[in-house]
Amino acid sequence: MPAISEKTAILFTGATGYIGGSVLQKILQHPEANTFEITALVRDAGKAQILETKFGVKAVVGSMEELDKLTELAEKAHIVVQVANADDDSMMIALLAGLRKRHEKTGDVPILIHTSGVGSWADGAGGEYASERVVSDLDTSTFDALPVTAAHRSVDILACKADSEGYVRTYLVLPSAVVGYGEGPLYEAGISKRPSVLVPLLAEIAAKRGRPGVMGSGKNIWAIIHVEDNADLTYRLFSAALTDASKLAHGREGYYLTENGEVTLYELCKAIGTALVAEGVATGAEPTVLTPEERVKYFGAEVYASMFFSNVRCRADRGRRDLGWTPKHPKEEIWKEVADVVKELANKLKGSV
């Protein structure tokens, strides 16, 4: 730990993102935030200025592709909170290189909190069935058995290996499907993206098709988590690591899932379709099967469509047990997001006619 008289140096990536904004504003509200020296790497110079003048965050203009800059910034940080990218090996290697340099020069064992995701065990169900498999984050063997080719997995492995080498303590936060509007000062200031990914994407697809689309029957199940509850777990993990990182499970045992309820893709798409019909921008609420051409057209590639229509079920047992984390936003709040997203989309479409 840094000396008590010094400020704790924190590097934050992903401040302008949907998930990252919710996490950063929680950290800014920490009771000891005045002892933090937070540096955020952001692409937008205008947002960087607002972060500095309004929120007291030192902002460095740059991108996650500037690897030398990442290494330099990480070397200066006792804690790195990474919420920008779950799938970039080069980014992770650059951050770890900086943290290793810090350890070798100062003896400090820095902390890395990395936001990954639960897509690593997506089963490729194609919407055809609901799986009974539910992954608990207390079952380390499940994570060990995941292939390096699985989504997010290669980056996770890099982080865990670094922890095992002793120069950094790593903690991995794995959100399930994140829902809900981002709310709070960073969103209101235009720094962070407010809407989620899942609901707006499915709503836009349904509006373009005139009705929702699914793979198979849409029977696959996704665990979901509200953006604020996900931020709360990350914040609790940050706070606990700041106090005594050695007491927390870390490295290959340091997986912290976030979930609070489940939804089938049929259930979600049907709700979106019903709302779109009510707004007069869709002709049918009942989902129909997406053609192979539509899957590529709307999702960008078959592999992404397959991810959405896989089963991804899990239990966030470690955070509940070790961090006292209790999510406060029930599954039912997703229907409010559906209504809000559809209303906004309908107004936009009607305004363009």
Architecture label for domain 8-121+135-181+226-258: 3-Layer(aba) Sandwich (3.40)
Q: What is the mean pLDDT of residues 142-164?
A: 97
**Domain extents in the chain:** 8-121+135-181+226-258, 198-223+261-352
d(CA 201, CA 192): 18
Residues 6+ apart with CB under 8 A from 38: 10, 12, 24, 27, 28, 56, 57, 58
Candidates 259, 260, 241; CA nearest to 251 is 241
Task: Kindly indicate the confidence band of residue 352, based on its pLDDT and cuts at 50, 70 and 90.
Answer: low
Architecture label for domain 198-223+261-352: Alpha-Beta Complex (3.90)
Q: How many CA atoms lie within 13 A of 347 on its CB side?
A: 5
d(CA 257, CA 135): 9
Res 23: pLDDT: 98
Task: Kindly indicate the confidence band of residue 247, based on its pLDDT and cuts at 50, 70 and 90.
Answer: confident
Res 351: pLDDT: 80
For the cut 60, the answer to whether the pLDDT of residue 150 exceeds it is yes
d(CA 150, CA 170): 20
d(CA 155, CA 172): 10
Q: What is the pTM of this model?
A: 0.96
Question: Cβ of 60: how many Cβ atoms within 10 Å?
Answer: 14
Quick: pLDDT tens for 279-298: 999 999 999 999 999 999 99
Res 273: pLDDT: 97
For the cut 50, the answer to whether the pLDDT of residue 212 exceeds it is yes
Quick: pLDDT tens for 34-65: 999 999 999 999 999 999 999 999 999 999 99
For every residue of 12-71, DSSP letters joined together read EE-TTSHHHHHHHHHHHTSTTGGGEEEEEEES-HHHHHHHHHHH--EEEE--TT-HHHHH
Question: Cβ of 78: how many Cβ atoms within 10 Å?
Answer: 22
pLDDT more than 70, % of the chain: 98
Question: Left (φ > 0), alpha (ψ -120 to 50) or beta: where does 218 sit?
Answer: left
Query: Are 158 and 96 in contact, with CB atoms under 8 Å apart?
Result: yes
For the cut 50, the answer to whether the pLDDT of residue 4 exceeds it is no
Candidates 36, 14, 16, 17; CA nearest to 27 is 36
Residues in the chain: 353
